[in-house]
């Protein structure tokens, strides 16, 4: 006995060793088998991480597991992912592993797929991305043996935690299935077999951009008869769920050469109105266990016909509910008198002939009754709509009657009495002659809040009139924060805006008593400084859906720390841009005009603006506007009035304030009246210390005109002239927005201002013309406005002036001598000669004395009453002879 047990034990041990060791022995063979199958059968790029073989997990069968399998397609879907599978597991008989290349294909008995994603596409040309099987080049039947291939004789299979996408670009169709968990088992050996399946998934289905299912939970327990030779699949004892709505169905699907033949009917087994609430996605339906309902609900339908490239099955689906109601236990309001009568039909099999009749959709909450009906035809092409709405709806009651969680507060009374008839092509092309509207819509006491606005918007009343071809906003009165808005106008395409993602077009007149810009800013926006050097992470945007013209009139507009009065103008909004035309306002005791463009369509918002300032209070405007301070830092020390025009462009920060180092443009300014009040300006003190004859507080700046340009954070000031007493000053240079300066002040300074020594020298010269002499003095201003530096060339100017005055004195002395000579010559020419009479010698002696004095001759007669006739040298005679070029002999 012990020997037998020992033999059994050794046999089991050997078997275990073989089972454990075999995967390593056959590993290479299995990998080659998988690669050969892929290469022989698939026209795509297929990759996998590893292939593993096990005899233990599925004993007595062998298990082959492929990890991280991916399939990528070739043209015309190059590099598109067809499939990703985290793990694919195949179970087969052990003997299948030992088949040679000449034997039958390997038979697979079980398949398990985990975490798969299948992505199917049909492009606009009708080509599909899943057609990757290689053509049969051996002229053998498709069901014949194929070396190194697999065939499937499946007893069970499973798909776990997987997803499926189908996109048909030609039909504008999307099917998205997520969270797929599906199992199937049965006997598949004969021509007929039975498959028992269980399926659970979330389904989204949209057609022509209309979403008919939105992540709805679908469950299906189906027992299916498989008639393999006739390719017919018959549903037996089937029950499915759409969300929590149970549906029983029966019928069959038969595969045809050019499509499928379908004959399926379905209905809900019960009739409680609670089953209707179950259709609503659970995201919105919440828990239906605590809801009380009355009334009935029935849905049934027949889908019958062929699915081909030209046809669909005929449809006859009916939904009916009469006098129903519901109330959730933890909510205060009941919805009652609910009536639903709707049909979805197609009687021809042509897809364009599918239509919806919503004969009745009525309900009541408190005393508010809401009634509606509609007919919608051509669901898949140019949809035709005819709808009627007549009723009252208290929006606040929505959350009081149904457990829906709204992100934002919603209040107000909606009243509507409206008939509309249109086709979608007319909406999309603005063919207003095919859009028929009649009736009115009003909203009162409407409250809306959102994370995108600081304060809730309170609409006290708004009325819209619908007429054929026009929609009028008769009145709109609203407040938000401290701001009020009153508007009226016309809306060109309200239905296009609501139904087909078109822009809202119209012309509006907007009035406001108080409009505070910060009331409309995004809550929590950063407090970036006005002179920020970079664009912030987020910025305000002009809504892309607006395409309208606004004529505005506001008594008071508050923007940051500015208060504008009597704001009027025109605003055109389109393509995320705002064009300002003839905007005027009163501010800084003067008038402001604006024309320009604000563009938020790009990543960074930009502006291009022309500003006109008339009769501005200088002190108020330069202290109130950081941009003006940056353009002219010292102007804040001025008092008076100015006119100015500024052209500028640049980038806007998140609060629509210019980022200073991005702006460029030019400006012109004219002072109507102006006084300089330097207060504590350090630059003025330095200039007055360097040039002691200046007193800036006495400057007269009236009629001063100046031009400047700016770019890349640098301001260039064109030289301009001002006058202080009789001193002319020319000022020019540049500064940056970071307050570094490089200026020159050139003064034409009269000599009298240049110190005691210069004035004493002027007094000695005693010549009025000297007082008109000026010299240029240059003051170079650098540093910054807070730490300025001033250098002048006054010392060298005074030195040069002193040399100039000495030269003037010298020339004056020479000119005096020449004047005396000329007087003497003139007297001689006139005949004033000497006589023998001693009484007549005075004049001649005087001349001789003057000339002698000038020429340095000291010879005089001893007796003034006598003439020295023996004197051989006569200075006058010699001088005159020298002048006239000859000498007379003595008697």
Segment 157-167 mean pLDDT:
90
User: Residue 121: which of 161, 158, 83 has the closest Cα?
Assistant: 83
Residue environment code for 825-860, b if the CB has 16+ CB neighbours within 10 A, otherwise e = eeebeeeeebeeeeeebeebeebbebbbeeeebeee
Segment 380-402 mean pLDDT:
90
pLDDT at 130: 80
Segment 523-539 mean pLDDT:
39
Q: What is the mean pLDDT of the chain?
A: 78
pLDDT at 465: 94
**The tokens of 594 are what?**
């604006």
pLDDT at 285: 60
Identify the residue whose tokens are 């330095």: 686
Confidence bin at 327 (pLDDT 50/70/90): very high
In the chain, what are the domain boundaries? 272-406, 686-698+720-827, 840-891
- Phi-psi label, residue 872: left if phi above 0, alpha if psi -120 to 50, beta otherwise: alpha
Confidence bin at 245 (pLDDT 50/70/90): confident
pLDDT at 365: 94
Q: At CB < 8 A and 24+ separation, what contacts does 727-734 make?
A: 727/693, 727/694, 727/753, 733/781
Residue environment code for 700-709, b if the CB has 16+ CB neighbours within 10 A, otherwise e = ebeebebebe
Res 113 pLDDT > 80: yes
Residue pair 377/383 in contact by the 8 Å Cβ criterion: yes
User: Residue 77: which of 116, 126, 139 has the closest Cα?
Assistant: 126
CA 462 to CA 474: how far, in whole Å?
A: 7
pLDDT digits (tens, 9 = 90+) for 665-711: 999 988 877 677 765 577 778 887 888 888 877 777 777 888 989 88
Residue pair 221/240 in contact by the 8 Å Cβ criterion: yes
Res 454 pLDDT > 60: yes
Segment 163-178 mean pLDDT:
86
Res 782 pLDDT > 70: yes
| 107 contacts: CB under 8 Å, gap ≥ 6 | 92, 93, 96, 150, 151, 152, 153
Res 290 pLDDT > 50: yes
pLDDT digits (tens, 9 = 90+) for 217-229: 888 888 888 887 8
Residue pair 677/640 in contact by the 8 Å Cβ criterion: no
pLDDT at 82: 86
570: β partners: 551, 581
Res 621 pLDDT > 50: yes
pLDDT at 303: 93
Residue pair 203/177 in contact by the 8 Å Cβ criterion: yes
- Give the whole-number percent of the chain exceeding pLDDT 70: 76
Give strand ranges (E) for 481-576. Answer: 483-491, 504-516, 546-559, 562-574
Segment 871-876 mean pLDDT:
42
Confidence bin at 8 (pLDDT 50/70/90): very low
From residue 655, alpha-carbon distances to 241, 539, 605 in Å are 52, 7, 10
From residue 714, alpha-carbon distances to 474, 666, 734 in Å are 51, 11, 7
277 backbone dihedrals φ, ψ, rounded to 5°: -60, -25
Confidence bin at 60 (pLDDT 50/70/90): low
**Interior CA angle at 694 toward 692 and 695, to 5°?**
115
Confidence bin at 624 (pLDDT 50/70/90): confident
Res 151 pLDDT > 70: no
Confidence bin at 67 (pLDDT 50/70/90): confident
CA 389 to CA 421: how far, in whole Å?
A: 12
User: Residue 855: which of 888, 829, 879 has the closest Cα?
Assistant: 879
Segment 496-520 mean pLDDT:
84
- Give the whole-number percent of the chain exceeding pLDDT 90: 26
Q: At CB < 8 A and 24+ separation, what contacts does 182-190 make?
A: 182/158, 183/156, 183/157, 183/158, 183/159, 184/156, 184/157, 184/158, 185/155, 185/156, 185/157, 186/155, 186/156, 186/226, 187/155, 188/153, 188/154, 188/155, 188/226, 189/153
Does an H or E element contain 468, and which?
none
Q: What is the DSSP letter of 534?
A: S
**Interior CA angle at 339 toward 335 and 340, to 5°?**
120
Confidence bin at 138 (pLDDT 50/70/90): low
Which of 41-50, 340-349, 457-466, 730-739 has the weakest average pLDDT? Answer: 41-50
Helical packing angle, 794-829 and 756-765, nearest 10°:
0
Residue pair 759/766 in contact by the 8 Å Cβ criterion: no
From residue 590, alpha-carbon distances to 585, 633, 642 in Å are 9, 21, 9
What is the per-residue DSSP string for 177-222? EEEEEEEEEEE-SSSEEEEEEEEEEEEEEEETTEEEEEEEEEEEEE
Confidence bin at 260 (pLDDT 50/70/90): confident
User: Residue 739: which of 450, 480, 531, 528 has the closest Cα?
Assistant: 531
CA atoms within 13 A on the CB side of 436: 8
**The tokens of 806 are what?**
């000495």
* pLDDT: which is higher, 515 or 672: 515
Identify the residue whose tokens are 């306002």: 585
CA 616 to CA 590: how far, in whole Å?
A: 4
pLDDT at 347: 92
Rg value, the chain, Cα: 52
| 829 contacts: CB under 8 Å, gap ≥ 6 | none
**The tokens of 28 are what?**
């290479």
Q: At CB < 8 A and 24+ separation, what contacts does 210-217 make?
A: 214/281, 215/178, 215/281, 215/283, 216/242, 216/243, 216/281, 217/241, 217/242, 217/243, 217/281, 217/282
Res 192 pLDDT > 80: no
Res 14 pLDDT > 50: no
From residue 630, alpha-carbon distances to 79, 623, 633, 635 in Å are 55, 11, 6, 10
Confidence bin at 19 (pLDDT 50/70/90): very low
* pLDDT: which is higher, 58 or 130: 130
pLDDT at 263: 93
pLDDT at 681: 72
**The tokens of 732 are what?**
């020019």
Which of 39-48, 297-306, 361-370 has the weakest average pLDDT? Answer: 39-48
* pLDDT: which is higher, 475 or 43: 475
pTM of structure: 0.61
């Amino acid at each position: 006995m012990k020997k037998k047990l020992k033999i059994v034990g050794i046999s089991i041990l050997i078997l275990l060793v073989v089972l454990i060791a075999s995967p390593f022995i056959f590993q290479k063979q299995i990998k080659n088998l998988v690669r050969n199958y892929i290469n022989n059968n698939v026209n795509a790029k297929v990759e996998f991480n590893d292939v593993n073989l096990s005899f233990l997990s599925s004993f007595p069968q062998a298990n082959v597991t492929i990890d991280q399998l991916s399939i990528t397609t070739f043209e015309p879907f190059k590099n598109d992912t067809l499939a990703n599978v985290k793990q694919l597991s195949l179970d087969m008989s052990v003997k299948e592993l030992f088949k040679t290349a000449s034997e039958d294909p390997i038979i697979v008995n079980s398949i398990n797929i985990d975490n798969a994603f299948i992505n199917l596409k049909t492009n606009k040309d009708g080509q599909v991305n899943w057609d990757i099987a290689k053509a049969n080049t051996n002229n053998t039947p498709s069901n014949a043996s194929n070396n190194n291939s697999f065939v499937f004789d499946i007893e069970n299979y499973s798909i776990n935690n997987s997803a499926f996408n189908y996109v048909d670009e030609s039909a504008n169709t999307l099917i998205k299935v997520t969270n797929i968990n599906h199992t199937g088992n049965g006997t598949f050996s004969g021509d007929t077999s039975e498959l028992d399946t269980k399926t659970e998934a979330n389904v989204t289905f949209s057609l022509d951009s209309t979403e008919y299912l939105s992540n709805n939970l679908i469950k299906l327990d189906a027992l299916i008869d498989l008639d393999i030779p006739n390719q017919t699949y018959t549903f037996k004892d089937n029950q499915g769920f759409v969300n929590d709505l149970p549906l029983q169905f029966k019928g069959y699907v038969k595969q045809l050469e050019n499509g499928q033949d379908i004959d399926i009917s379905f209905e809900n087994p019960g009739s409680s109105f609670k089953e209707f609430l179950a259709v609503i996605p659970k995201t919105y339906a919440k828990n239906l266990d605590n809801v009380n309902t009355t009334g009935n609900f029935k849905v049934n339908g027949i889908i019958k016909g062929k699915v081909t490239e030209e046809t669909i099955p005929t449809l006859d689906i009916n939904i009916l509910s009469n006098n129903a109601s519901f109330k959730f236990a933890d909510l205060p309001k009941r919805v009652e008198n609910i009536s639903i009568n709707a049909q979805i039909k197609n009687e021809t099999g042509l897809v364009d002939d599918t239509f919806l009749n919503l004969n009745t959709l009525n309900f009541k909450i408190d005393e508010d009754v809401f009634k509606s009906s509609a007919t919608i035809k051509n669901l898949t092409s140019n949809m035709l709509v005819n709808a009627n709405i007549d009723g009252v709806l208290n929006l606040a009651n929505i959350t009081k009657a149904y457990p829906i969680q709204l992100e934002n507060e919603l209040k107000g009374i909606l009243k509507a009495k409206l008939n509309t008839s249109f086709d979608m092509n007319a909406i999309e092309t603005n063919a207003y002659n095919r859009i028929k509207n009649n009736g009115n819509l009003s909203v009162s006491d409407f409250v809306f809040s959102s994370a995108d606005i600081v304060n809730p918007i309170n609409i006290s009343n708004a009325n819209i009139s619908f007429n054929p071809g026009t929609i009028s906003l008769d009145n709109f009165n609203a407040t938000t924060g401290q701001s009020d808005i009153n508007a009226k106008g016309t809306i060109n395409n309200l239905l296009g805006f609501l139904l087909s993602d078109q822009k809202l077009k119209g012309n509006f007149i907007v009035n406001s008593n108080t409009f505070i810009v910060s009331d409309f800013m995004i809550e929590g926006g950063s407090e970036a400084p006005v002179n920020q050097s970079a664009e912030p992470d987020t910025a305000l945007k002009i809504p892309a859906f607006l395409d309208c013209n606004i004529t505005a009139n506001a008594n008071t507009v508050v923007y940051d720390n500015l208060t504008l009065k009597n704001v009027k103008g025109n605003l055109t909004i389109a393509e995320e841009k705002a064009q300002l035309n003839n905007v005027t306002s009163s501010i800084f005791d003067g008038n402001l005009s604006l024309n320009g463009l604000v563009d938020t369509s790009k990543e960074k918002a930009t502006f291009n603006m022309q500003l006109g300032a008339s009769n501005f209070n200088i002190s108020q405007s330069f202290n109130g506007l950081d941009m003006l301070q940056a353009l002219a830092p010292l102007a804040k020390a001025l008092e008076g009035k100015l006119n100015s025009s500024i052209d500028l462009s640049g980038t806007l920060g998140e609060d629509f304030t210019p980022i200073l180092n991005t702006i460029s443009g030019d400006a012109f300014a004219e002072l109507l009246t102006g006084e300089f009040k330097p207060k504590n300006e350090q630059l003025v003190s330095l200039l007055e210390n360097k040039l002691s004859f200046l007193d800036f507080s006495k400057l007269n700046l009236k009629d001063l005109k100046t031009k400047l340009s700016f770019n890349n954070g640098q301001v260039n000031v064109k030289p301009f002239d001002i006058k202080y007493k009789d001193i002319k000053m020319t000022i020019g240079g540049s500064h940056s927005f970071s307050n570094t300066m490089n200026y020159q002040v050139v003064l034409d300074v009269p000599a009298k201002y240049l110190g005691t020594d210069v004035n004493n020298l002027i007094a000695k010269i005693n010549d009025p013309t000297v007082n008109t002499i000026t010299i240029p003095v240059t003051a170079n201003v650098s540093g910054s406005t807070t730490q300025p530096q001033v250098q002048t060339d006054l010392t060298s100017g005074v030195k040069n002036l002193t040399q100039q005055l000495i030269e003037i004195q010298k020339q004056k002395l020479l000119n005096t001598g020449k004047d005396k000579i000329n007087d003497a010559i003139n007297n001689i020419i006139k005949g004033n000669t000497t006589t023998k009479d001693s009484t007549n010698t005075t004049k001649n002696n005087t001349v001789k004395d003057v000339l002698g004095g000038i020429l340095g001759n000291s010879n005089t007669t001893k007796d003034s009453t006598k003439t020295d006739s023996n004197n051989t040298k006569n200075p006058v005679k010699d001088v005159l002879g020298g002048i006239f070029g000859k000498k007379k002999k003595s008697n």
